[in-house]
Amino acid sequence: MLKRTLSSQLARLAAGFADRPVRLGELTDVLQLRGYNALLLFLAFPFITPIPLPGFSTPFGLVIALLGVRMVLGQKPWLPERITARELPARLLPKLLLVTSRALGRLEKLLKPRLFYPEYPAAFQRASGAVIVICGLLLLLPLPVPFSNAFPAFTIILLAAAGLERDGAVFIAGCVQFIFCLGFFAALCLGGSEVWQRIIN
């Protein structure tokens, strides 16, 4: 179990940020104390619904991709001021924090250090970062297609959760989910190409 679980911390933040607009930087200042994984979990959880969230996937996807790049390079979490100055809606943020807190609370019960992750955390983090960059870029795509946000978001959640407790089993689950994610987008590309060929013919 996590020390002072992240789920309980998110629940406290929901109460503290209620009824007022919050800059993304205020939130990241708190979550950065736990490294990349807390930030990634918060940013990815809103996208696990089947219906894409218009207006959110592009900025959040960009932030996720930037964090993934820094993970690959072994650098500390950092975001440009232009992004951290962005305000999050006062009514939406507490709901997002509470939903994320409850879902993460269930996931935390499964997490524990295992397999090779505890011995090679840097290698696993960089491998996770490479996958997260790709998933962040997929979230950037403004596709009005069910599950087009959910597949990359679920991959990010599993890899970030694995990093919280150095859980190699959950890391493998994230890699398997990533393969499904790539298959989903490959099918979209092939389907779109076939439709386009029919239109021009």
**DSSP per-residue string spanning 124-191:** HHHHHHHHHHHHHHHHHS---STTTTHHHHHHHHHHHHHHHHTBHHHHHHHHHHHHHHHHHHHHHHHH
Residue 128 scores a pLDDT above 80:
yes
In a domain, 10, yes or no: yes
CA distance 124 to 43: 20
First to last CA, the chain: 59
Whether 21 maps to a domain, the answer reads yes
Does the pLDDT value for residue 190 go beyond 60?
Answer: yes
Q: For the chain, what is the mean pLDDT?
A: 82
* Pair 134, 49: CB distance under 8 Å: no
Asked whether residue 1 is domain-assigned, the answer is no
State residue 53's pLDDT score.
Answer: 66
What is the residue type of 20?
A: R
Q: How far is CA 140 from CA 44, 65, 146, 201, in A?
A: 12, 9, 15, 31
More confident residue, 120 or 80: 120
pLDDT 10s digits, 73-96: 988 777 777 777 777 766 777 777
pLDDT for res 24:
75
Note down the domain range covering 139. Answer: 6-200
pLDDT reported for residue 196: 46
Higher pLDDT among residues 103 and 194, named by residue:
103
Query: Does any domain span residue 25?
Result: yes
Q: Tell whether 49 is covered by a domain.
A: yes
Using alpha carbons, select from 16, 61, 17, 80 the residue that is nearest to residue 152: 61
The mean per-residue pLDDT over the stretch 44-49 comes to 85
Residue 98 in this model has a pLDDT that exceeds 90: no
Residue 97 lies in a domain: yes
Report the C-alpha gap between 100 and 157 in whole angstroms: 11
Let me know: does 42 contact 140? Beta carbons within 8 Å: no
Contact 185, 138 (CB under 8 A): yes
Three-state SS for 114?
strand
Please report whether residue 93 resides in a domain: yes
Say which range, 47-56, 107-116, 177-186, has the weakest mean pLDDT.
47-56
Whole-angstrom distance, CA of residue 48 vs CA of residue 194: 28
pLDDT number for residue 1: 39
* pLDDT for res 194: 59
More confident residue, 147 or 174: 174
Structural domains counted in the chain: 1
Is 59 within the bounds of a domain?
A: yes
